Amino acid sequence: MLSPRPFQAYQALDDAACEERIVAAKRTLGEDLIILGHHYQREEVFRHADVSGDSLKLSRQAAASQARYIVFCGVHFMAEVADILSRPEQISILPDLEAGCSMADMADVPRVERAWQELATVLDPEEQVTPITYINSAADLKAFCGRHGGIVCTSGNAHSILAWAFAQREKILFFPDQHLGRNTAYRMGVPLDEIAVWDPELPFGGLEESTLRRARILLWKGFCAVHQLFRTEHIEAFRRRYPEGKVISHPECSFEVCQQSDAVGSTEYIIRTVFASPPGTRWLVGTELNLVNRLHEQCLSQDKSVHFMSPIQCQCSTMFRIDPQHLLWCLENLVAGQVVNCIQVPAPIADQARVALQRMLEAST
C-alpha cells in the first residue's frame, strides 16, 4: 500500500491553487465525501462545505448521508462527535489534528473524577448531582456523563437539558463552560446565590461545605476565550450611537453582556433571528468574527446592518488552523486511496458517550 502524501508538499501552495484542486478532488470523490463547515470556519475553507451549521447539526447530517468520508472543518471534539454518531463504515477526518478547543481542554477526566470524589465526601453525587457536559468537550467527558446518569447539552438546547437534569436530581455539575451554565440557569429562575463556581485547581473547588449544600448548580471554571473579549462597554457605545439598534449575544458571553443583550442564543439562533428581522434593522452581534462577517455580507442585500461587538478582531484561533492547504492534503490523499487524520473514538468511550448524547436527543425533542 502506498504511503500517504506528506503535508509538507502542500504548505507552500497559495489559496488560489488550493481552490482549484479542492474542487477537482471533490468532483472525483463525489458522493463518497461530505465536507462539514462549522459557522466559525474561515471563508476560504467554509465555501467548500457541503453542509454548514453548528457541531451537532453537522454530525447528525453527516451520519444521515451516504458519504463514506466525513471531513470536518471544525475542531477535534466536533470530529469526535461525528465519529460517535456516524455509521461504522463511515470515517471521520479532521484536516489538522492541532485544531482543538481551549475551552474543552479546561475540563479533563482526571480533574472531573477528582471533583466527583470530593463531592462524595459532602453529598451523594450519584443520588443528588447530574453531570452535564457542553458538547464542546472531549469524548471521554461525554462518556463520564454517560456512566453517571448525566447528559450532553448544546448552546441551543441548554434550557431543556437543565430542566431534564433538575427533574432527575436536585443538583447539577456543569462543565466546561461556566457562562453557558450561568446564563441558562439564571434565565430559568435559579438565583445567583444558588449558583457556585467550582475551581478545579483548588481543593473542593475552593468552596465551603455550606456552599456545596446550598448550590443547585456547580459551574466548572471554564470559558471560551473568544466570547470573553466582549464587554458591556461595547454594548453601551453601540446603544449611544444607534439607540434603535438591537444586541444579540451567544450564551458563552459573560453574564453581564448577556443581561444587557436584547436576545441571547446559539449560533443558529443568532443567524435565524437576524435573518427574520425586518429591513433596516441594525444588529450588534457577540460571537466569533467569521460568522459575524459572513452574516454582515449576507444581510447587505436585505438592508440590514450587522456589527461585530468587539473592537478587537477576535477569531477562534484553533478553528483557524483548518486552512485550504490542510483540506486539500486530506482530499487528495482520499483520492489516492489514503486516509489521513482519521478520528476514531475507542469503542468503550464511544459507547458511553453515545448514551449521554442519546439522552440529550431524547430530552430535547
Q: Where are the domains of the chain?
A: 7-98+318-345, 104-224, 227-308
Residue 318 — pLDDT band, cuts 50, 70, 90?
Answer: confident
Greatest Cα pair distance in the chain? 65
Mean per-residue pLDDT over the chain, rounded: 95
- What pLDDT, on the 0 to 100 scale, is given for residue 55? 85
Task: Quote the cell numbers at residue 299.
Answer: 444581510
**Can you give the pLDDT at residue 91?**
98
26-70 pLDDT, tens digit per residue, is 999 999 999 999 988 999 999 999 999 888 999 999 999 999 999
Residue 255 has pLDDT above 60, yes or no: yes
Give the pLDDT confidence of 347-363 residue by residue, as tens digits.
999 999 999 999 999 99
pLDDT tens digits, one per residue of 136-185: 999 999 999 999 999 999 999 999 999 999 999 999 999 999 999 999 99
CA angle 260, 266, 267 (to 5 degrees): 110
Closest CA to 327 of 29, 114, 4, 25: 25
CATH topology for 7-98+318-345 is Rossmann fold (3.40.50)
**227-308: CATH, from 3.40.50.10800, 1.20.58.1880, 3.30.390.30, 3.40.50.1000:** 3.40.50.10800
Is 104-224 in the same CATH topology as 7-98+318-345? yes
| Residues in Cβ contact with 272 at an 8 Å cutoff, skipping those fewer than 6 apart | none
Alpha-carbon distance 39 to 180, whole Å?
Answer: 18
pTM: 0.94
Beta strands in 181-264, from DSSP E residues, in sequence order: 195-198, 217-220, 246-249, 263-264
Grid cell in block for residue 138: 472531549
Place 2 in a pLDDT band, splitting at 50, 70 and 90.
low
For the beta carbon of residue 117, count every other beta carbon within 10 angstroms.
10
Lowest mean pLDDT among 193-197, 309-313, 316-320: 316-320
Q: Provide the pLDDT for residue 319.
A: 78
The answer to whether the beta carbons of residues 143 and 359 sit under 8 Å apart is: no
Tell me the fold of 104-224: Rossmann fold (3.40.50)
User: What pLDDT does residue 314 have?
Assistant: 63
